[in-house]
Every structure is written in structure tokens, then in C-alpha cells.
Structure 1
């Protein structure tokens, strides 16, 4: 049920902005709050969305699953973020047709890749500290993406909701339990 709610909210959030370029009132307000941050700080805040950070985190999730003997989970740890990224790039961005700086921005692909991998890590580790660190990384990335002018807040929120929906939907697919250890 949480996956369906996140997916529905992601779809509905983008509707008022489809085919447009203008920020909403909340988008403009939040951008104003972040505008005072220096370019160096903003570059540091957006760092968690970079492929050289996201990819190793994704590999870590797969390795953790494999080390625990959870091969099916390892497949989902790899596949769920890839599915979320592909659906965002090939389906949702063209469908919503929201532009900023000559780029399709809804939902945020930066956010989808980061949040999908972080959600997988939270599910794989089942540790509260991982969830807290993931939330902090998302908050930092949100400020960076908005401050650097890459995205509006609604793009980031839509990307977050969509990534969580895809990961939770794929994670809930039934798969066989791992075989008990014989050694």
C-alpha cells in the first residue's frame, strides 16, 4: 500500500506542471531560501546525486545481499534502481514534458537514482542509522539540486516518491526464501 500511495502522489504532483517551465509558488519560495548558499556549498550538497557516489552505493547493496546469501535480493537491489531510472528517463520525463534550462526535469532523475539506491540500502540493512543517513543525504541533495538550478522542489519530491514506489513495488514481489546454510 505505501508503494501505491507514493506512486499515485508522484503522478498527481507532476500534473499541474506538465508541459510547463514556470516554478510553482512553493518551488519559488524554497529556491529563495536556498539562494544565499555559495556555489561551493551547493556543489558539495549535490554530490550525493553524482554517479560516482550512487553507483558504489548500489554495488554496496548488492554485495551486502550476496554476502548474506540473499541472491534474489541482490538481483532486486540491482534491478529496482535501474528500473526506476529507466522509467523516469524514458517514460515520465517525456510524458510530463516539464522543462528547466533546456532539460526535462520532472521527476528529477538525479533524485530517482539516489533515492532508489538509498531505499534499497535501507531495506537491505534494516538499520535505523542507514535510514537517518539516507534522509540527510536526500535533504542535502535537495538543497543542492535546487540551489544549482537543476531542479524545482516539486521535481525532487516527485522523484523521491516515484523512486520509493518502484523500489517498494519490486521489493514486494514474492521470491523464494534463502536456503539454510549447510556449513
Structure 2
């Protein structure tokens, strides 16, 4: 999982460079903001629902419980610790480093997105189920539209947060080992 982690991490770091130290949206940011401008505030608030701390925490608890039920204590600890690490690195290191502002707030990478995507990535790795991947992608798309539409973030902030969260989880998550073959003799 090191290669995808490295690619996501590098893309997250590079994506923010053109916007560092500024508050101007990029061309894609402006287009997506235009797409979401017609949505009502109620719809936009519903779209950002997956990023609410109590939702993210509930999803994190679900991941821990699933690990514990499967007897995977190490993964249960990581399911709790790794998203917290991603959130901490975003708030303490990356946001001040990139210094990208919107509405008097540091926005790159999106902390809303990092928290959601880190937990969703853990759930995908824990469950290894296609429907979890699909639901996670839908939750991310909804959250992205809501975050942009409400003016909390630019699309590039959401993309950077997504890439960074995936990178942190993949680099910290243990590589699954195949079950040992039964002894023939």
C-alpha cells in the first residue's frame, strides 16, 4: 500500500502549491462553485451532514467495533488512532504551511474532508466490501458539493483533503497477510 499512499500524499502536497498563501479560487474551483450555487441552504446543509463530528465519530466507532468483533485488536487501535493522526497533521502542519484562506479561515486541505475520508478509508479497509466503497464515494461527493456550496471550502481543498487522508491511512495501515496454508504433514 506504500505506492498508492505515496502517490496520494505527493498529489495532495502538489495540489495545494498553486494556492499557497492566497485566497483566490482556481478555475475548477469557480466552475464547481457555480454548479452548487443553485442548491438551497437546506440541501447544502444536508449534503455536509456526513462531515459532522458526531457522524464521523459514529463511523469511527463502527470501524473499531468491526475490528474487535473480528479479533483484530491492532486494527481496532489503528481505526481510532490513524484518523486522529490525519486530523492533527492537517490542523497543525498542513493548514499553516499552505496558508490558504477563505472567509478568515485556513482551508487547505479541508479538515472536514480529512476527518470524513480518513474514517471512510478505514471502514473500506476493515470491511473490504464493494458497497462500502460505493457508499463512501457517495458520502464524499455529497460532502464536497455541500462544502463548496456553503462556501466553506474550494473544490481543491476537498480534493487535497481526500488525497491526504487516504495517504495517511494507507501508510499507517498494516498490509493484509494471507492465511497460512494448512500443514500437509
* Short-chain TM bin: over 0.9
Please give the TM-score of this superposition, normalised by the length of structure 2: 0.93
Residue 60 (structure 1) aligned to one of 38, 62, 74? 62
1 CA distance for matches of 2:61 and 2:170? 19
In the superposition, relative to structure 1, how do residues 123 and 2 fare at CA in structure 2: closer, same or farther (>3 Å)?
A: same
Structure 1 residues 81-100: aligned runs within 5 Å: 81-100=83-102
- How far does the alpha carbon of each residue in 1:86-111 deviate from its partner, in whole angstroms, 9 at most, with x for none? 00000000000000000000000000
Provide the rounded CA distance (Å) in 2 between the counterparts of 1:173 and 1:90: 28
1:12 corresponds to which of 11, 14, 24: 14
The gaps in structure 2 that reach 5 residues or longer are: 180-185
Q: 1:52 offset after TM fit, Å?
A: 1.1
Q: 1:53 to 1:146 in 2, by over 3 A?
A: same
1:170-181 aligned at under 5 Å gives the runs 170-172=172-174
Determine the structure 2 residue equivalent to 1:29.
31
What TM-score does the superposition give when structure 1 sets the normalisation length?
0.94
- Equivalent residue runs for 1:152-167 within 5 Å: 152-167=154-169
Q: Distance in 2 between matches of 1:15 and 1:26?
A: 15
